[in-house]
Amino acid sequence: MKAIQLQKSYAKFAGAVLANKLKGHGSSASALPLRLTELSEFKLPNEDWTYIYPIMSGICGSDIKTIQAKSSRSLEHLVSFPFIPGHETVAVREDNGKRVVVESVLSCKSLGMDLCQFCGEESFDKCQCQEFSPSIAPGLQIGFTKDIPGGWSEYSMAHQDQLYEVPEDMSDEDAVMIEPMACAIHGVLKIRQEFLAGFSDSPLITVIGAGTLGLCTTAALKFIFKDTVRILTIAKYPYQRQLAKAVSADFLSGTDNIVNTVRHLTNSLITGPSLTYGADIVIDCIGSKESIQGAINITKPGGQIILTGMPSKSNLDLSLLWQRQLTVTGAYTYSFETSNFLKSDKAKTFNIAIEASKSFKLGKLVSAKYDLDDYEAAIEHAIDAGKRDSTKIVFVNDKTDLMKKLQRRNQ
Amino acid sequence: MKSRPGFVLEVDKSTPPILVWHGEGFKLQKMPTDSRVLYPKEPIAPLEDPDGAITHALDNPIGDSKPLRDLLFPSMKLTIAFDDVSLPLPAMEAPDNRQRVIEAVLNLAAEKHVEDVVLIAALALHRRMTDAELKHCLGERIYNSFAPHGLLMQHDAEDPTNLTYLGKTDKGEDVEINKRAADSDLIVYVNINLVAMDGGHKSVATGLSSYKSIRHHHNVATMQHSRSFMDQSKSELHSSNWRIGRFLAKEGIKIFQIETTLNTNTFPKQFSFLQKREWEWTLKDRIGFSSVSKALEFAPDNIKTSIFNSIKAPHKLTSVQAGEVEAVHKVTTDHVYHQQLVQVEGQSDILSLGLPYISPYNVNSIMNPILVACLGLGYFFNLYKGKPLVKKGGVVIMSHPTPLAFHPVHHPSYIDFFDQVLSETTDPLEIQANYEQKFAEDPWYRHLYRTSNAYHGVHPFYMWYWCAHALDYVGKVIIVGGNYKAVKRLGFLSASTFNDALEMAHDTVGSHPSITHFHVPPLAIAEVN
Amino acid sequence: MPTSKSYKIENYDSKLIKAKLLIKIGQYKLKNRSKLSGFIFDEPTYPSSIERPTPSPKLGVNYQTNWARKPLVRALRSIVREGIARPFFAAVAAPEIVGLESLNLENPPYIFTANHASHLDTGLLLSTLPYQIRRKTVAAAAADYFFDTQPKALLAAGILNAIPLERIKVNRTSAKLAQDLVEDGWNLVIFPEGGRTPDGWGQPFKGGAAYLSIRTGVPIVPVYIHNTRVLLKKGSKKLTTGATKVIFGNPILAADGEDARKYAIRIEQEVAALKNEVDQNYYVSLLDKHNMTTPQLQSDLKSKWLRSWTAETTAKADKKEIVKWPKL
């Protein structure tokens, strides 16, 4: 089978880092430790798993960071090389031919181990046991372990409980946005009521970043809070501003006027790098040093910062975090949600995401589709997505090909 | 100095290229044949003995007023208010008119042993002046006598303890003015009347008033009904100010108005070619032009800004009159018209403007895109009496680099206005309804206005309202040589050359439009028949 | 998004640079302290059980200026005075000196009492005195202003040969020092107004100089210094050049039975007469003095602006350019 594989080649990683340093963003994909290969078939880990044929699989910001060797080494023990990336996947099930999306996060349950305390509570997102599976090499999610191919491939696999059927009337593009949307919803539902109760009748929630995650978060905020909050989205590029507006951001700001905009919206005064009031909640969807520092500066005293974008090692000035008594909450993947902002007591994040993606038609965020053969162009495009007026870049497999393969198998 | 009248030149094949301002620089532009160029009147001769004229004016007031000498008594509260840094343009060579007049007033006050005298810069919602600007406008001697004792104040329209609410006019306009001025036995207002819009009741009714009061006449409806605000008889802006002024008089506020006019001698010797008619340029002028414009081409932006900001104009006093506000202002306006009025026969399809580096609101500062729009569509477009120079639905072509730059200290609210308001809409009515109040009441802008040197939060809105009449009237606005992003945000079209702009105008005004170019400097008012 | 042109806000920038420099110095010090720290390199600390001696105040009126009158320091100062100060004042203030002939150079000391308008006054007066006098002259300087910190005290005593004088309340130490020095043959320059004029008008003369003169029998020379306020006034940081005048009156002594207060008023009258001489001429000044119509140094105006305005009026009239050298 054809797949894009990420190898652990120190020379190539070094090359990636160097290229990064020299050129900043926009480094050439050929210098990256990726290759398109033909691989023999993977075995299913156990009988609860099934093969799936990816129709569409997105390139995530965390993929890019891993490829460019920008992600933190603290996560290295949860990754096993060489692996086939791709955790935002729409696929067809081999066993019943239905269209599904994959909840990629791996846990005791999907790995077929005795359930840890978190998995017992169905908080699969909090499970830390991926390193200890007897059958599968360590992997944070599908698409990070060498034993399970991710979505950038001709076929992949998943535990039955990880598969969610896509409604008939939903396009593939809308469906591929379900996984990032689930991340966004999970982040948004980390908001705690007490932080919203503030000075103003209509709390201000600031979303830093207007890439896939930022836009999904903006949409998720609207989906969950309707018009009870004001949403300010910080977008770097004009194209992103338009999209943010389309997913119903109430206010927009460029990156170099953030403090001023938040100041204006919250009737604050500027004091040092910070404000006398500030946004009630700030959701950072970038994870860079600048974005987190910015978040600290613009959050109201006693407010909450949610880190949805994958952060890394960075040198931050935390004196204001301390002095303004902020709460920082991390938000990783998805599982079950028990927030009091929901109607039901407990809901699967993916089910909320499917509804949300449908209602916002998030498929419009898919800006370009590439065949696996064009992977270099695809990765380059994804690295420069913002600059090139694009958001989500996806890999696609030929559907007719796929159907043929499916039929052949079933026969 | 012999002053030739202004006139309208019909361009023919032998007309040399015309000098056109282009922000911090200028260029020569060949105008199409059969287009017209409006040349202003040359600077008229100044008064020979300005100080003598001032003394004479103070002793011989116009209208229903006693001589200043007789209005002063030792135990009185005397407040001397004066126009701020926005006048004149560019700042004049020392001594400034205000210095001359106020020194004369103070000499009388000292003679009468008036103990309680306060000077107030009538800022309205403008930025506070710096010490250097105050010193330049008042002279060291006045500055040294008042500033160290805290007796030289700048009007603060956001200090509730320093404002007196006097009531409403019969049209419901709130009247609120500076408390010290309201409590004074006499306000002496010292004005510089550069254009016909300035002065009269507007001096106190706007200059010493608060947002609460100013919003009644600085709004879209008023501006759209001022045709133009340079012509007081047809200006709603002025009617409102006059109502407030008469209300003040009725409330017993005594004002002794001193108004001065200047000739239009705008640039010092090294820039003399700017004020000459092109066909009269001597070798010296041509060398001057080419060396200056070459130098400006290569100079970095901040150096260009500081070169132009350092220019002091050799304006000279042409008249001074004192006494009762309305009577004084009538004479003043006549003097302004005498210098600036030019007769123009008929309107044209296209009005072409070269916008200079300076407007009333960027003295010693940076001309940001909003001020470019205001200078072109607010000021120059409105420099008419009767009918606008351009036909309804016509095209205005302005030349200015329109850089995407703001002065962070002087224009903080402009940055947000440009970023947050103009990105949503450019419709003045919508802007007024949805955004004005938020900006006007923003505590940060208020803080900067009161303690720093920032324009009031609402000021960029007024700049946009200033354009309202033109935006309503004109079919298309094209900026030549402007920053594409900035021009687009303003809602205008951007062209790289004048000919491109003409090309772009075709679908609005047809392929053989009539063109009038407004030649500045010096300033003029077009009386269009 | 509009990018604001980087605009230089002057004060802020220079302060920032200074702050950065201080940080650099601090870092350097810290670095080196780690190498050379602890006892031997640092002062020893006191054991808690041992009582620390109370430190005696070394600044203000208690500042010891003896060192500044040692021969070596005097020699160095004379180099600064003759080589730097006098040429400087000649260039900046171009003083016109009148009335020195009334001093008997064979018979010092004298107490010079002058009006006070500018920081330039002390230096200017010291540099215009005849060599025999100026080589042995001390200047009374405000203890709270010039002797409040070590570096300021060092400069004041070292360069101006200043001695600290309490200007608010009578202080035995400072009065005694001045008296001792005068009795020892030192000339004294003193500004009886106790401080620079805030608005150009004179302030009442205090009795210190008069008291000293009565106690020691040393004559007082009234001096009027003209126009230094225009060059550098109180509160201003900008020095401009201009022409000044230093005019010396005849030495006077207290009459029999005259107390310090009355004597001080008489000194003020003498200085006022000198001012009159500058403003009018010698003869008018004499007449006015005779008729008791000399214009006063002080103003009886209460209105702040009127005081400033009237003072500014005369100041403006007197501002004249000095001839720059070399002439090109």
CA angle B103, B105, B110 (to 5 degrees): 90
Q: A124 and A24 share a domain?
A: yes
Beta bridge partners of A366: A392
A324 vs C301 pLDDT, higher one? A324
Task: Give CA separation, C33 vs A323, B130, C41, C45, C314, in Å.
Answer: 31, 45, 9, 17, 58
Q: Is the confidence at residue C295, as pLDDT, over 90?
A: no
**Are the beta carbons of B474 and B396 closer than 8 angstroms?**
yes
* Tens digits of residue pLDDT in C83-140: 999 999 988 888 889 888 888 888 889 999 999 999 999 999 999 999 989 889 999 9
* Tens digits of residue pLDDT in B294-349: 888 888 988 888 889 889 999 999 999 999 999 999 999 999 999 999 999 999 99
Q: Could you tell me which of A119, A183, A221 has the C-alpha nearest to residue A330?
A: A183
The tokens of B513 are what? 């439009």
- CATH at residue A384: 3.90.180.10
**Are the beta carbons of A183 and A209 closer than 8 angstroms?**
no
Tell me the CATH architecture of domain C60-260+308-318. 3-Layer(aba) Sandwich (3.40)
The answer for residues whose C-beta is within 8 angstroms of residue B261's C-beta and 6 or more apart is B192, B193, B317, B318, B319, B320, B332, B335, B336, B339
| Structural domain includes residue A336 | no
Quick one: pLDDT at residue A67? 85
Structurally, chain A folds into a number of domains equal to: 2
Q: Could you tell me which of C163, C206, C193 has the C-alpha nearest to residue C69?
A: C163
Contacts of A263 in chain B (CB under 8 A): 444
Q: Residue ranges of the domains in chain B?
A: 7-43+275-311+340-528, 53-262
Q: A8 and A140 share a domain?
A: yes
Question: Are the Cβ atoms of C5 and B302 closer than 8 angstroms?
Answer: yes
Question: Are the Cβ atoms of A253 and B444 closer than 8 angstroms?
Answer: no
- CATH at residue A202: 3.40.50.720
Quick one: pLDDT at residue A90? 95
Quick one: pLDDT at residue A28? 58
Contacts of B140 in chain C (CB under 8 A): 316
What's this model's pTM, rounded to 2 decimal places? 0.81
Range of the domain at A202: 191-330
DSSP A333: S
A254 touching chain C per CB within 8 A:
yes
Q: What average pLDDT does the segment C180-194 reach?
A: 92
Q: A173 and A26 share a domain?
A: yes
Decide if B7-43+275-311+340-528 and B53-262 have a common fold. no
Q: Could you tell me which of A113, A214, A111, A209 has the C-alpha nearest to residue A158?
A: A111
**Are the beta carbons of B252 and B30 closer than 8 angstroms?**
no
SS3 C320: coil
Q: A6 and A135 share a domain?
A: yes
* Tens digits of residue pLDDT in B42-55: 999 999 999 999 99
- Fold classified for B7-43+275-311+340-528: 2-enoyl-CoA Hydratase; Chain A, domain 1 (3.90.226)
* Tens digits of residue pLDDT in C21-40: 777 777 776 666 656 666 77
Q: Could you tell me which of A203, A266, A192 has the C-alpha nearest to residue A230?
A: A203
B2 vs B421 pLDDT, higher one? B421
Contacts of B423 in chain A (CB under 8 A): 252
Q: What average pLDDT does the segment A179-197 reach?
A: 92
Q: Minimal Cα distance from B423: which residue of A?
A: A252
Assess whether the previous peptide bond of C44 is cis (omega < 30° from 0).
no
C1 touching chain A per CB within 8 A:
yes
* Tens digits of residue pLDDT in B135-171: 999 998 899 889 988 999 999 999 999 999 999 999 9
* Tens digits of residue pLDDT in B177-193: 999 999 999 999 999 99
Residue A273 CB coordination number (10 Å):
13
Q: What average pLDDT does the segment A292-318 reach?
A: 93
**Are the beta carbons of B312 and B93 closer than 8 angstroms?**
yes
Q: Is the confidence at residue C8, as pLDDT, over 70?
A: no
Q: Is the confidence at residue C6, as pLDDT, over 50?
A: no
Q: Is the confidence at residue C7, as pLDDT, over 80?
A: no
Quick one: pLDDT at residue A116? 92
* Tens digits of residue pLDDT in A68-122: 878 788 888 889 989 999 999 999 998 888 999 999 999 998 888 899 999 998 8
Q: Is the confidence at residue B256, as pLDDT, over 60?
A: yes
Measured between CB atoms, which of A261, A268, A269 is closest to B420?
A261
Quick one: pLDDT at residue C5? 45
Q: Minimal Cα distance from B489: which residue of C?
A: C1
* Tens digits of residue pLDDT in C193-231: 988 988 888 899 988 889 899 989 999 999 999 988 888
Q: A44 and A175 share a domain?
A: yes
Q: A40 and A94 share a domain?
A: yes
Distance CA(C305)–CA(B138), nearest Å, equals: 15
Question: Are the Cβ atoms of C3 and B415 closer than 8 angstroms?
Answer: no
| Structural domain includes residue A335 | no
Distance CA(C12)–CA(B526), nearest Å, equals: 46
Quick one: pLDDT at residue A393? 94
The tokens of B231 are what? 């012509």
Tell me the CATH architecture of domain B53-262. 3-Layer(aba) Sandwich (3.40)
Q: Residue ranges of the domains in chain C?
A: 60-260+308-318
Q: What average pLDDT does the segment A37-47 reach?
A: 87
The tokens of B22 are what? 């282009």
Q: What average pLDDT does the segment A261-289 reach?
A: 92
Contacts of C1 in chain A (CB under 8 A): 254-257
Q: Minimal Cα distance from B453: which residue of C?
A: C9
